[in-house]
Amino acid sequence: MVLEREILARSPNALLLRYLDLTPTLAISPQPTLASHVDEILKLGTIGLIGRWFEAEDIYKALSAPVKQDLAWLVDTYYDRLPPQVKDQYAQLTIFGPRATALFKQGVRGAVEAYNATVAVLRLEKIEPSSWASEAPGAIAQDTPFLRLQRFWGVAAALGVPSVWVLVDKVDEAPGIQSAEAIFKAVSAILLTQNLLEFSVGTKQVLCLKVFLTRPTEIQEQLRLAGFRKDRVKTEEIRWARKDLNAALSRRLGHFSGRTVLNFDDICVPLARGTHDKLLDKCDLRPRTLFRMAHEILAEFDLTSDFAAEKLDPQSIDRGIERGLKAVVG
């Protein structure tokens, strides 16, 4: 979220795509192909472009006929074929302008219906989606993942997008993806495809990927063994300090309690005092692990405690911590 704010402050018209759900690609293979990743990115990207169109309806009128055909191809391939509930899911992973944001506050389904009405113009004008069918049997296939991205960028640029940022995160939250090897395999096609990581027009990079991965020390070794171009792709390691995690936990508790609870011990029975520090000790400086343990403690308490109980008991705490560690650390 911090990075999103910084990007939009520097380039307000940039298109930000949150690639946070790898479940569809991992359902096909634990090591998805570049084509699988690109398809997911283009689903998000197409919804983002429809959002731009929805925000400024007149922008469509300025598009050339070939660009309209490519836009129709994107809509047909990556939007119209999605079931309504899937459109809802993808729409929630895209950052929108003020008009769409106001619409989304009234409900995701209503916003998707508005998007459906927006793209219906293509059908009303009978714009035929462009086609890249090979001209002759045995001809080299032209419909490659990289060329699909080029086609997408052509439409994005025509709609006034100066750059596209793809933020890849929550890889380790996908089902069964917890070990460093599994995390690396899940996104290796992205990390090892140089022309994707350096997607440029002329000398300007217009498609930028930021991939957030847990277990950095182990992942670095995976990257080295795979021949990752660390000399050309910048990598950074971000580590939390205990005091920062303590502040984050206190803020989270305060947010959900109206500032009446700032320490986890405040909601524990006297015998379980020290749980706040215990959570900080066991999370191994990983915020996701910290909050998952806290969530599991509360879930265990709701499930097993006496109806009259008001504060967390040691058994709920121990079981919650154990489940939280298993779920996130593996």
Residues 234-267: tens digit of each pLDDT:
888 888 899 999 999 999 999 989 999 999 999 9
Pick the more confident residue, 140 or 29: 29
Return d(Cα 256, Cα 94) in angstroms, integer. 26
- φ/ψ of 208, rounded to 5, equals -120, 130
183 and 159 in a common domain: yes
314 and 218 in a common domain: no
186 and 66 in a common domain: yes
Return d(Cα 84, Cα 113) in angstroms, integer. 9
Q: How many folded domains does the chain comprise?
A: 2
Final residue of a structural domain among 176, 198, 226:
226
Q: Does some domain include residue 149?
A: yes
Residue 176 DSSP one-character state = T
138 and 30 in a common domain: yes
187 and 285 in a common domain: no
* Percentages of the chain per state (helix, strand, coil), in multiples of 5: 60, 5, 35
Q: Does some domain include residue 93?
A: yes
Domain span at 105: 2-226
Final residue of a structural domain among 195, 226, 257:
226
Of these ranges, 96-110, 132-146, 273-287, the one predicted with the greatest mean pLDDT is 273-287
Residue 128 DSSP one-character state = P
Return d(Cα 67, Cα 158) in angstroms, integer. 8
103 and 22 in a common domain: yes
Report whether pLDDT(72) > 90: yes
Q: What is the pTM of this model?
A: 0.81
Residue 64 has a CB neighbour count (10 Å cut-off) of 9
203 and 160 in a common domain: yes
Return d(Cα 193, Cα 204) in angstroms, integer. 18
Short-list 7, 86, 8, 104, CA closest to 46: 86
Report whether pLDDT(142) > 70: no
**Which element (helix H / strand E) includes 204?**
strand 204-205
Residue type at 5 in one-letter notation? R
Report whether pLDDT(119) > 80: yes
Report whether pLDDT(330) > 60: no
Final residue of a structural domain among 174, 196, 226:
226
294 and 165 in a common domain: no
Q: What is the mean pLDDT of the chain?
A: 88
268 and 166 in a common domain: no
Q: Does some domain include residue 236?
A: no
- pLDDT, residue 150, reads 92
pLDDT tens digits, one per residue of 10-35: 998 899 999 999 999 999 999 999 99
**Which element (helix H / strand E) includes 262?**
none
Q: Does some domain include residue 146?
A: yes
Report whether pLDDT(329) > 60: no
Return d(Cα 51, Cα 60) in angstroms, integer. 12
CA distances for 43 relative to 18, 50, 163, 164, angstroms: 11, 11, 17, 14
SS3 category, 209: strand
- φ/ψ of 105, rounded to 5, equals -65, -20
Contacts of 124 (CB under 8 A, 6+ apart): none
Give me the percent of the chain exceeding a pLDDT of 70: 92
103 and 188 in a common domain: yes
Q: Does some domain include residue 235?
A: no
Q: Does some domain include residue 237?
A: no
Pick the more confident residue, 135 or 8: 8
Pick the more confident residue, 246 or 286: 246
Short-list 109, 108, 122, 41, CA closest to 80: 122
Residue 312 DSSP one-character state = B
134 and 15 in a common domain: yes
157 and 263 in a common domain: no
pLDDT tens digits, one per residue of 199-218: 999 889 999 999 998 888 88
